Structure 1
Amino acid sequence: MRLLNTTTLRLESPWSSPVYAILSHTWGEDEVLFVDISDQLKPLPTSKNGFRKVMDSCERARQDGYNYIWIDTCCIDKTSSAELSEAINSMFRWYHRADRCYVYLSDVNNPSGPLVLFENSRWFTRGWTLQELIAPRDVRFYDSQWAFLGSRQVLRGTPYAGLLTINDLADRIHEITGIPVEILRWFSPKSDSPLVRRRSKRSGLDKYEPTYKLENYLRACSTGQIMSWAAYRLTARKEDEAYSLLGLFGVNMPLLYGEGRHAFYRLQQEILKTSSDQSILAYDRQFYSDSRHLLADSPRCFASSEVVQSLKDGPIFSASTSSFDLLPSPKAVEAGVLMCPLFRQGKQDKTRYLAILNCIYRSDLTSHPAIVLRKEHPDQDTLRTFYRTPGSGLHKVTPIDEQGWVEWATVVDGLSNRLHYDLKKCFMDTIRLYFEPPHRFSDSPSDIAKLASSYTIGMRVRLDIPETQKYSYAAHPHTLQVKEHRIYAPSIECSSWPKRFLGDQSPETNHLALFGAIVLQFDGMGTVALSWGKSCRSERGDVSPEPWCAIMDWGKVVTAAQGQESQTIDLDSSALQTAAKFLYSTHQSSWLSLLATKPDTRVEYNTSRLKMRCEMHTADFFGDPLFEMELAVHLQGRSSFGDMVRLPFYFSSRDM
């Protein structure tokens, strides 16, 4: 560890462990770096903008009786990856061992810039300054002119500036950061003189060691609670979101700049090796749409105001004596969890379970957070392997309410999964939770899996029509593929969507994009056309599309395409292909007049011979969320055909 001599402003590496101060600040332009002062023969870089900050901090430390100070900009050789890795893994300990930490708020009361209050300082928004706020024993705040603002903790009996008590900022800092006051005041020395402290240490009577060390205080906090302190802090590099938290969790790991958000996954896996705190799973949502990991992809996932607190003896309504430990392995974690089956329309969903975590809400000690898990092999009870259902978020379970609903929004607004749970059916189990879902289709022998592995996920139609009923079908722009009473229609590439918006283009209206259409003709009963697509509000751009389905008046479509009325509709004729092509490619607002129903996720259409009801919701396809379109057809006057004909349509949410 290199230290800066407060008198000579030169770097030294003392053999002993001297008493030193430390500087906490936010980086600015033209900082003094290691290369600028490492050569003792070169003059000091007085022309650099950051030199004034180094000089003033040394002056402040020297006036307080310190011979050495540590500053991160110039005391670390960042050109050496080995030294940088060691420094980052040791930084929390270096701040913890410092006798005093000076926090320099360069944007507070700066006469050359806008007025910034203490609460609005950029220092409170940086990722690295979180550990710099908590780790040191004695933290003092100064503004841009090095005027003293106050301390993190109470300091009594001090001769500092003739005051008996220094301004204690702990309550204000708590309001800014959410960090408990007990953490901020973990250390309160009885003297302000570093000379008195050095003498007490040499005599073996260090009166200033706290009764409870910082490690004990942090251990009393849950993993989710500590993560919430970093939720709104920013770092220049994505990897530093994880590296800046190493000391707070007491873990070490190698640095791999370039790995992106995977660093935060690695941090959580290291935490799992030292802690069985299940609050690490109690995050609300993922912030990256492609994330399917069991663990959170960012500290922001823990930003919920209702942070959770871990428990020692399991959920308060569980009489089980089983272990709630978390035992990680390279690909999964063994977890003792209270499992609750989920039900859909009165029938148990054998693929999903509600896992009630071993922690509680600090604002509601009777409730527990829970997550939705998906079973990898639903037909094999002996394999207790699960992964977290993407997008299901965090759910609140209260024991006094024995029954409830679990609901979460899907990728597309307006659609949701809604499942029922009953706490009387809970059971304790030790399960294997994958960090990431297993590769799809690898072990499944089913025909659907073979079909899915043969084609990209598009639309799938399972025809469940009595054999006595004759029907024919057609679709555009792709030809349907039929295999064993299943129909597959390849999906349209997402990149082509913005080019196919339809309808009124005024800013106040939605843009409707056509995804595809399928036509079914029932012998002697009529011809129906079902179309589906997405709507995208102009003010939202193409970020969050919403699905729609509509039933077409196919006679109008043929008429519009041919320019004349058609008495008959032949699915095999060129007229159908012309009409389908017209339907797919037109950009005219008159297209809306061809719809028999208003675009929505649930539509109904009635004629004298045919009644149709179409509803769109979500389904699961080997771990991928799919949109499911269910078409119910009632043929009037044909009782032998049954009451309803159901045609489920499947297509991938990724194509929307």
Structure 2
Amino acid sequence: MRLLNTKTLRLEPPCSSPIYPYAILSHTWGEDEVLFADICDPQKPLPVSKKWFLKVSDSCEQARQDGYEYIWIDTCCIDKTSSVELSEAINSMFRWYHDADRCYAYLSDVNVPEGSSVAFEKSRWFNRGWTLQELIAPKDVRFYDSQWFYLGSRQLLPGTREVADLADSISKTTSIPVEILRWFSPKSATPRARRRGRMAGLNKHEPTYKLDSYLGACSTGQIMSWAAYRFTTRKEDEAYSLLGLFGVNMPMLYGEGRHAFQRLQQEILKTSSDQSILAFDRPFYSDSRHLLADSPKCFASSEIVQSLKDGPIFSVSTSSFDLLPSPKAVEAGVLLWPLIRQGKEDKTRYLAILNCIYRSDLTSHPAIVLRKEHPHNDKSRTFYRTPGSGLHRITPIDQQGWIEWATVGDGLSNRLRYDLNNVYMDTIRLYFEPPHRFSDSLSDIAKLASLYTIGMRIKLDIPETVKYSYAAYPHTLQVKENRIYAPSIERSSWPKRFLGEQNPETNHLALFGTIILQFDGLGAVALSWGKVCMPERGDFSPEPWCAMMDWAKVVTAAHGQELQTFELDSSALQTTADFLCSTDSWFWVPLLASKPDTRAEYDTPRMKVRCKMHTVDFFGDPLFELELAVVPNGKSSFVDMVRLSFS
């Protein structure tokens, strides 16, 4: 590693790991940059006539003012004529940025007197491939405009001037969670103090950081999506610029084109069993037949929030969801089922559910269509990905549905049915490339996952004469024909539970929601469900629960009086749900509600309610299935039967 002396603007001799603190410059390349050949010879004068020499000298001046004797700049600190040095530098660059004391992000196309936060967010610095790792890896990133006016920092740190913390704005621009941008937790120490500590072999001045754990909590697909809208001059750099974010190394082979990105994914497979690497969509015009993605753009619409450690497996299954790569294929544990064509199982096409979940609904899973190599051999475990079939979302609301894709290359229908009742667990072999004897041609235009709420699925089977309406909090309901689905959501979306001055994270963590079914002329039934755990006891696997109650009683308890009228879209629903969440000791459960796995009865002035609950599995997640009967008072027979399923 070569460093530039901030006083002399000359290169220091290369070293494997500098013992002194250094700064680093992140910028976008332009024409007539200062290169290694321009300053490597100390006998030659500095290239002051070059267009971007001022960028180098000003960054040295800024670093010198901040107490740094050395700075690293990619344009002039790497001898790019040496393929060995270039390869080593690219594989080490993430570590160099990570180990730097400070990173100056120079936005050459932003001018504060003429611009605003909009100009900052639209800077081309946020669109370049290499600046992604330069944004995340360093401990301290500070932004400057074209005149070296200080705009703010990625996160406020001790010693930072009182300017904007730009994490929220950067997150809006890049879709990178603010938790990733604010990963660094420093100890206050000056650059000179840290340098003395390092030279003395001491660690007491060293900052504490945990970037690996933050990145490890993100799925491969999620990290790929951060690079989806960035571009690089060389196609291969789409892959090379992501090496550090995934903690892998590989040789540089400029000229290999998109194969570089596929090599990157194969390296990731060697260190990770995260199946979100398969959860991508190709553009409809792509002619690729590879199991892996062609570029980060395939993950552009990724909502895959993370891979699951235990997987969406049935409780009786002991199979593994590991990914074990070999030179031509990967062994993968998946939930598999044959697709149905014309009422019969298609032994050629299978739907495989992947072991990861969606950000917007943590009980839904992505699935891909596979083709079996030997369809008439029941013992065959060899498959490849069907080109053009895309990514499919399997949600608890749809136990049966249709799979469609844009090709009919072999004459088979491109619209097949699936039935989750026939799913089974298997470990299969997935080719990276389909065998040559097969030809699926495309048409020409063809962290917390343990702390999330369980969703609720409702299947309604009621006579047309009984009308009903519904509302839920804090969920956004999905309605499809006679089914209602309240998807599972993250902890951050739930009402906060404060008990006095205590931190809600250290109490009974009650994750729950409420849905109301109001039957015309009869009354309303409240259904609450969720999970509860005690993080202070190390319990990060919440136990699910659900309860049914008379909505009139709940409203009275929450508001201290009986409401004469109640509109489902009023704020009373949120207020009452907050009341249930914040109430200590769950006293309302025995007073107002039924308990899971029990029979319960409730009488209201207009109806009687009977229910029976039991528990089943949906891909390893607990489902509460509840049969609920509503009987108008004064009649001896049930007029309504509602079957409810909770996921």
Same fold (TM over 0.5): yes
Q: Note if 1:241 corresponds to 2:238.
A: yes
Q: Note if 1:40 corresponds to 2:42.
A: yes
Instruction: Give the direction of change, closer, same or farther, for the CA distance of 1:441–1:240 in structure 2 (3 Å limit).
Output: closer
Q: Which moved more, 1:352-361 or 1:296-305?
A: 296-305
Q: Deviations 1:343-365 (Å, cap 9, x if unpaired)?
A: 01211111000000000101100
Q: Note if 1:138 corresponds to 2:140.
A: yes
Q: Which moved more, 1:193-202 or 1:43-52?
A: 193-202
* Cα distance in 2, alignment partners of residues 180 and 38 from structure 1: 40
**How much has 1:290 moved relative to structure 2?**
2.3
* Cα distance in 2, alignment partners of residues 113 and 217 from structure 1: 33
Quote the residue 2:31 is aligned against. Answer: 29
Q: What amino acid does structure 1 have at the position aligned with 2:119? A: L
TM-score, normalised via structure 2 length: 0.65
**How much has 1:217 moved relative to structure 2?**
1.1
Is the 1:107–1:113 Cα contact (8 Å) retained in structure 2?
A: no
Q: Note if 1:275 corresponds to 2:275.
A: no
Matched ranges for 1:197-208 at <5 A:
197-201=194-198, 202=200, 204-208=202-206
**How much has 1:341 moved relative to structure 2?**
1.4
**How much has 1:383 moved relative to structure 2?**
1.7
Is the 1:109–1:115 Cα contact (8 Å) retained in structure 2?
A: no
**How much has 1:168 moved relative to structure 2?**
1.0
**How much has 1:189 moved relative to structure 2?**
2.6
Quote the residue 2:607 is aligned against. Answer: none
Q: Note if 1:102 corresponds to 2:99.
A: no
* Cα distance in 2, alignment partners of residues 295 and 403 from structure 1: 27
* Cα distance in 1, alignment partners of residues 337 and 268 from structure 2: 26
Q: Which moved more, 1:183-192 or 1:213-222?
A: 183-192
Quote the residue 1:13 is aligned against. Answer: 13
- Among 52, 55, 79, the alignment partner of 2:54 is 52
Q: Deviations 1:524-548 (Å, cap 9, x if unpaired)?
A: xxxxxxxxxxxxxxxxxxxxxxxxx
Q: Note if 1:315 corresponds to 2:312.
A: yes
Q: What amino acid does structure 2 have at the position aligned with 1:438? A: P
Unpaired segments of 5 or more residues in structure 1? 443-451, 458-493, 495-656
**How much has 1:17 moved relative to structure 2?**
2.4
* Cα distance in 1, alignment partners of residues 86 and 328 from structure 2: 29
Q: Deviations 1:6-46 (Å, cap 9, x if unpaired)?
A: 00000002655221000000001100000000111000000
Q: Which of structures 1 and 2 has the bigger CA Rg?
A: 1
How many residues are aligned here? Answer: 437
**How much has 1:382 moved relative to structure 2?**
1.7
Instruction: Give the direction of change, closer, same or farther, for the CA distance of 1:416–1:309 in structure 2 (3 Å limit).
Output: farther
Is the 1:228–1:307 Cα contact (8 Å) retained in structure 2?
A: no
* Cα distance in 2, alignment partners of residues 103 and 416 from structure 1: 53
**How much has 1:251 moved relative to structure 2?**
0.5
Q: Deviations 1:387-415 (Å, cap 9, x if unpaired)?
A: 00000000000234321111122389xx9
**How much has 1:318 moved relative to structure 2?**
5.8
* Cα distance in 2, alignment partners of residues 279 and 113 from structure 1: 39
* Cα distance in 2, alignment partners of residues 416 and 95 from structure 1: 52
3-state SS, counterpart of residue 380 of structure 2: coil
Q: Note if 1:193 corresponds to 2:190.
A: yes
Quote the residue 2:632 is aligned against. Answer: none
Q: Deviations 1:390-446 (Å, cap 9, x if unpaired)?
A: 00000000234321111122389xx9711111111111111000001001169xxxx
- Among 252, 256, 273, the alignment partner of 1:255 is 252
- Among 123, 129, 134, the alignment partner of 2:131 is 129
Quote the residue 2:479 is aligned against. Answer: none
Q: Which moved more, 1:280-289 or 1:39-48?
A: 280-289
Q: Note if 1:368 corresponds to 2:365.
A: yes
Matched ranges for 1:461-610 at <5 A:
none
* Cα distance in 2, alignment partners of residues 231 and 309 from structure 1: 17
**How much has 1:68 moved relative to structure 2?**
0.3
* Cα distance in 2, alignment partners of residues 185 and 116 from structure 1: 21
**How much has 1:319 moved relative to structure 2?**
4.1
Q: What amino acid does structure 2 have at the position aligned with 1:289? A: S
Is the 2:20–2:195 Cα contact (8 Å) retained in structure 1?
A: no
Q: Which moved more, 1:279-288 or 1:292-301?
A: 279-288
Quote the residue 1:86 is aligned against. Answer: 88
Q: Note if 1:381 corresponds to 2:381.
A: no
* Cα distance in 2, alignment partners of residues 117 and 222 from structure 1: 31
* Cα distance in 2, alignment partners of residues 186 and 91 from structure 1: 19
Q: What amino acid does structure 1 have at the position aligned with 2:131? A: T
3-state SS, counterpart of residue 393 of structure 2: strand
Q: Note if 1:336 corresponds to 2:338.
A: no
**How much has 1:110 moved relative to structure 2?**
7.2
Is the 1:108–1:116 Cα contact (8 Å) retained in structure 2?
A: no
* Cα distance in 2, alignment partners of residues 368 and 97 from structure 1: 38
Instruction: Give the direction of change, closer, same or farther, for the CA distance of 1:274–1:24 in structure 2 (3 Å limit).
Output: same
Is the 2:238–2:295 Cα contact (8 Å) retained in structure 1?
A: yes
**How much has 1:308 moved relative to structure 2?**
3.5
* Cα distance in 2, alignment partners of residues 104 and 263 from structure 1: 29
* Cα distance in 1, alignment partners of residues 178 and 113 from structure 2: 32
Q: Note if 1:437 corresponds to 2:434.
A: yes
Is the 1:89–1:252 Cα contact (8 Å) retained in structure 2?
A: yes
Q: What amino acid does structure 2 have at the position aligned with 1:265? A: Q
Q: What amino acid does structure 2 have at the position aligned with 1:136? A: P
- Among 151, 154, 166, the alignment partner of 1:152 is 154
Is the 1:376–1:386 Cα contact (8 Å) retained in structure 2?
A: yes
3-state SS, counterpart of residue 405 of structure 2: strand
Quote the residue 1:2 is aligned against. Answer: 2
* Cα distance in 1, alignment partners of residues 171 and 360 from structure 2: 17
Is the 2:221–2:302 Cα contact (8 Å) retained in structure 1?
A: no
* Cα distance in 2, alignment partners of residues 252 and 358 from structure 1: 25
**How much has 1:152 moved relative to structure 2?**
0.6
**How much has 1:112 moved relative to structure 2?**
9.8
Unpaired segments of 5 or more residues in structure 2? 445-647
Is the 1:188–1:208 Cα contact (8 Å) retained in structure 2?
A: no
**Structural RMSD (CA):** 2.4
3-state SS, counterpart of residue 236 of structure 1: coil
* Cα distance in 1, alignment partners of residues 315 and 104 from structure 2: 48
Q: What amino acid does structure 2 have at the position aligned with 1:252? A: N
- Among 200, 207, 210, the alignment partner of 1:209 is 207
**How much has 1:200 moved relative to structure 2?**
4.7
Is the 1:170–1:181 Cα contact (8 Å) retained in structure 2?
A: yes
Q: Deviations 1:537-588 (Å, cap 9, x if unpaired)?
A: xxxxxxxxxxxxxxxxxxxxxxxxxxxxxxxxxxxxxxxxxxxxxxxxxxxx
* Cα distance in 1, alignment partners of residues 307 and 205 from structure 2: 33
* Cα distance in 1, alignment partners of residues 363 and 313 from structure 2: 8
3-state SS, counterpart of residue 188 of structure 2: coil
3-state SS, counterpart of residue 11 of structure 1: coil
Quote the residue 1:505 is aligned against. Answer: none
3-state SS, counterpart of residue 89 of structure 1: helix
Quote the residue 1:594 is aligned against. Answer: none
* Cα distance in 1, alignment partners of residues 117 and 205 from structure 2: 41
Is the 2:280–2:302 Cα contact (8 Å) retained in structure 1?
A: no
**How much has 1:206 moved relative to structure 2?**
3.3
Q: What amino acid does structure 1 have at the position aligned with 2:352? A: A
Is the 1:107–1:116 Cα contact (8 Å) retained in structure 2?
A: no
* Cα distance in 2, alignment partners of residues 255 and 329 from structure 1: 21
What percent of counterpart residues are identical?
A: 79
3-state SS, counterpart of residue 12 of structure 1: coil
Q: Deviations 1:182-212 (Å, cap 9, x if unpaired)?
A: 11111133437312333454473435532x5
* Cα distance in 2, alignment partners of residues 132 and 7 from structure 1: 24
* Cα distance in 2, alignment partners of residues 421 and 108 from structure 1: 53
Quote the residue 2:416 is aligned against. Answer: 419
Is the 2:112–2:149 Cα contact (8 Å) retained in structure 1?
A: no
3-state SS, counterpart of residue 414 of structure 2: strand
